[in-house]
C-alpha cells in the first residue's frame, strides 16, 4: 500500500482514458472510492468503472463538462451527495483541442483551450474547496512538461494554459494552507496516450523518444504513483504548492 486511502473519496476529472483512467484505477487499488468524471467518453468511463468494481473496488461515473462552471458545481454536489464527502480532487481534464499556429489563433479557439485547461481547474477548485476544508483534503492538478519547455508547433496555447495552472496551485497552496488543504501538480512528459495518437505524427514521437534519456515514451501508469504520493497525507503531508516532473529525464529543472 502506497498510502492509507481506505475510506477516502477521490474525484478524478477526465478519468475515462489515459492518465486519468490510470490514476483512478490506482486510487481504487489503494482502497479509495473513486468518482470518475467524463464528458463525451461514456463507454470508456464505464469500462474503467467496471474494471475497478470487478476487482472489488468502488467507483461510479459522473458526466460533466468541467469547462462549464455550472456543470462543475453540479458535479461536485452529485459526488458529495453520493459518497457523503470529498477528500481528494484530481484535476486531470484537459487537452490540446487542436494544433493552431500563433498567428492563426481565433477568439473561439483561445476560449476553448483556456476554458478546458484553466477555467476547469478554477471552477473545480471553487466548488470543491468548501468540502476539502471539512475533510482537510487536497488537490492534485495535471500539468505538462510543455509548461516549462513551451509548446511544440501549434501547441502554444496548450503550453501556456498548463503553465497557468502550475502557477495557480502556488496561490491556492498559500491561501488554503491555514485550512489544512494542500495543492500540488504532476507534470507529465511525453506520455503514450490518445492525446499524442490524435495530435502528434509518429515520426515526431520517434524523434522525441530518441531525445529522452530513458529512451522511451511514458505510460499513464508511469504517472499514477506521483498522484498517489502527493495525495497521501502520510507521505506528502508537508508538501504543497509543488510540481513533480514525470518525464524519463526529458526535462530536469
DSSP per-residue codes, 119-180? IHHHHHHHHHHHHHHHHT-EEEEE--THHHH---TT-HHHHHHHHHHHHHHHHHHHHHGGGT
- Residue range 9-189+220-246 forms a domain whose CATH class is alpha beta
Q: At 59, give phi and psi (nearest 5°).
A: -155, 145
Catalytic residues: 158
Domain boundaries, the chain: 9-189+220-246
User: In the chain, what is the greatest distance between 2 CA atoms, to the nearest angstrom?
Assistant: 51
Quote the cell numbers at residue 168. 495557480
> What is the pLDDT, as a whole number, of residue 237?
97
Please list the pLDDT of the chain residue by residue as tens digits (253 residues).
Answer: 566 899 999 999 999 999 999 999 999 999 999 999 999 999 999 999 999 999 999 999 999 999 999 999 999 999 999 999 999 999 999 999 999 999 999 999 999 999 999 999 999 999 999 999 999 999 999 999 999 999 888 999 999 999 999 999 999 999 999 999 999 999 999 998 766 666 678 888 888 889 999 999 999 999 999 999 999 999 999 999 999 999 999 999 8
Quote the cell numbers at residue 223. 504517472
The pTM (predicted TM-score) of the whole model is 0.94
> What is the pLDDT, as a whole number, of residue 33?
98
DSSP per-residue codes, 1-55? --S--TT-EEEETT-SSHHHHHHHHHHHHTT-EEEEEESS-HHHHHHHHHHHHHT
Amino acid at each position: 500500500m502506497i498510502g492509507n486511502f481506505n475510506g477516502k473519496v477521490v474525484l478524478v476529472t477526465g478519468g475515462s482514458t489515459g492518465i486519468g483512467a490510470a490514476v483512478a484505477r490506482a486510487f481504487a487499488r489503494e482502497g479509495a472510492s473513486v468518482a470518475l468524471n467524463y464528458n463525451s467518453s461514456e463507454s470508456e468511463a464505464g469500462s474503467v468503472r467496471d474494471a475497478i468494481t470487478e476487482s472489488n473496488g468502488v467507483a461510479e461515473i459522473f458526466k460533466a463538462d468541467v469547462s462549464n462552471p455550472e456543470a462543475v458545481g453540479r458535479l461536485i454536489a452529485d459526488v458529495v451527495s453520493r459518497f457523503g464527502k470529498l477528500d481528494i480532487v484530481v484535476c486531470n481534464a484537459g487537452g490540446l483541442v487542436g494544433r493552431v499556429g500563433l498567428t492563426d489563433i481565433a477568439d473561439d479557439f483561445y476560449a476553448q483551450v483556456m476554458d478546458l485547461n484553466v477555467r476547469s481547474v478554477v471552477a473545480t477548485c471553487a466548488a470543491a474547496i468548501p468540502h476539502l476544508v471539512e475533510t482537510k483534503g487536497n488537490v492534485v492538478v495535471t500539468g505538462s512538461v510543455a509548461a516549462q519547455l513551451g509548446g511544440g508547433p501549434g501547441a502554444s496555447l496548450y503550453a501556456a494554459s498548463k503553465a497557468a495552472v502550475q502557477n495557480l496551485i502556488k496561490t491556492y497552496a498559500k491561501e488554503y494552507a491555514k485550512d489544512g488543504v494542500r495543492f500540488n501538480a504532476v507534470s507529465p512528459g511525453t506520455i503514450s496516450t490518445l492525446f499524442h495518437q490524435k495530435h502528434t505524427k509518429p515520426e515526431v514521437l520517434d524523434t522525441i523518444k530518441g531525445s529522452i534519456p530513458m529512451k522511451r515514451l511514458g505510460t499513464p501508469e508511469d504517472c499514477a504513483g506521483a498522484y498517489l504520493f502527493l495525495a497521501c497525507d502520510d507521505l506528502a503531508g508537508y508538501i504543497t504548492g509543488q510540481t513533480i516532473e514525470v518525464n524519463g529525464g526529458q526535462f530536469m529543472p
